[in-house]
Chains A and B, each alone.
Chain A
């Protein structure tokens, strides 16, 4: 049994998108998200779909990886579509009627619109994590949060917590896989019985997993303490990220274009 690989995991290839500063990408994604919610027609969504397709092509990330998360959203997308499209004993004209349930054409259009918006949001935002390493991402977040330090927000510590949390996702997945295999070897079965039986079967996995995670967290804290970690104040970086003119250009022009699509269409 294998633990599925993490959605949005960094894809290490060379591309113009990968080489952009993480802060630029965060800014563009924020404006993309804002624009996507401002757009109220299919023309706007079509424009964003073209943008996402072009950026995906430029990023050299295989489309099947970028679209992996959409499959996980299948139930949500179906629910969104049906919740808008189906009507109980509708008074209006229906496309299709089965007993008291009818498919409302206007509702169907709205359902498709919202489902498209969710897919674009998912694929567009996942391009950030697919083209940015966790360390670049947390460094960027720390940099963006730095002004809040003046108000007492521990931006350095928050960034370190995020870095560690992201760093330990694959480790935790491996640990879970290891415990599952070990308990399977002791005769445990995870694919037998009803829902309650299957949930209970995971107790021998979750307990050691959490115990080991807490132990590892304590060991890590002690190791960091013994190496004189004293928080984010005064820490310098070996590789300080610098916003190049290209980054500013992409952020300002790209961001403005994305916002314009949402406002116009």
Chain B
């Protein structure tokens, strides 16, 4: 049971003068419990890859398989949920609860409204408060979380998110990360982002795209062991990670690199003590 992309390529306007090879020979496997981060600069093919994985685009070459069948197969319906950039622009219903329940209702789920309430709770929106509110009256952060709840409510085995935390404040980003941690207990999650820093502590793997090709694929530990490929792809590690990697390169015995400032500071102090 996995979402598998095998040597997938896709070209926009293929064979035409302004054609663009957006994705070139990408392969990945996503299983339930995984949190895979796909990083890349703007125009590196991240969003196109996500659409290919969701079956919304047909690969020019290669294949995408969802639990052994193609994404368009009847058995794959509802197996993959996708959240696009700015998902709050797709609201249409009178209340947030009805909008969030749209997906599960389309899939024929009898308990669509309770699934909607559960998803709203997961993203930190109290259904008793927000469920009856118009989605058009929400603040930017609330609307983003509400839109992500629309995908969570579908109960898909694979959840694909395109820049889910872009433009959110710290509290909004934290609630999205929290919701994804809950979600990965029953789903495989792919987060596409040009700034993967906040997901590195919890990611099970990372893929860096450069002009549609896989520049790096491996664990976060492998990334930290040699970040040069990642940086050549135009990406930048968070300052706190770079600080720890520089300290490690200068001979400090840092066992683990972390995004948590408190733990990072304690590890640096301890390592300094050990070295002196």
What is the interface of chain A, defined by CB distance below 8 A to chain B? 178-179, 181-189, 203-205, 207-208, 211-212
Contact = CB atoms under 8 A, between A and B. Distances in A.
Contact of A188 (B51, B54, B102): B102
Contacts of B56: 181, 184-185
Interface of B: 51, 54, 56, 77-78, 81-82, 84, 87, 89-93, 102-107, 136, 150-151, 154
Nearest to B56: A181
A182 B78 contact: no
Nearest to B54: A185
Given A186-B154, A212-B89, 7 more contacts: A181-B84, A182-B84, A182-B90, A187-B105, A187-B106, A204-B102, A207-B91
Contacts of B90: 179, 182-183, 186, 204, 208
Contacts of A181: 51, 56, 84
B78 A211 contact: no
Contacts, number: 53
B150 A187 contact: no
Contacts of A204: 90, 92-93, 102
A186 B92 contact: no
Contacts of B89: 179, 208, 212
A205 B89 CA distance: 10
Nearest to B55: A185
A186 B160 CA distance: 12
Contacts of B77: 187
20 contacts: A178-B84, A181-B51, A181-B56, A182-B84, A182-B87, A182-B90, A184-B56, A185-B56, A186-B90, A186-B103, A186-B150, A187-B77, A187-B107, A187-B154, A188-B102, A188-B106, A204-B102, A207-B91, A208-B90, A208-B92
Contacts of B93: 204
A130 to B, nearest CB: 19
Q: Is the interface of A mostly helix, strand, loop or mixed?
A: helix
Contacts of A182: 84, 87, 90
A208 B54 contact: no
A187 B93 CA distance: 15
A204 B103 CA distance: 11
A211 B136 contact: yes
Given A204-B102, A211-B136, A185 B92 contact: no
A67 B51 CA distance: 34
B84 A186 contact: no
Given A203-B92, A207-B92, A211-B91, A189 B54 contact: no
List the 4 shortest-distance A-B pairs measured between CB atoms, nearest first. A187-B106, A207-B92, A186-B103, A182-B90
A6 to B, nearest CB: 17
Contacts of B54: 185
Contacts of A178: 84
Nearest to A1: B56
A199 B194 CA distance: 38
A214 to B, nearest CB: 11
A184 B91 CA distance: 13
A5 to B, nearest CB: 12
Contacts of A187: 77-78, 102-107, 154
A205 B92 CA distance: 8
A132 B156 CA distance: 49
A246 B105 CA distance: 64
A203 B91 CA distance: 11
B106 A186 contact: yes
Nearest to A184: B56
Contacts of B107: 187
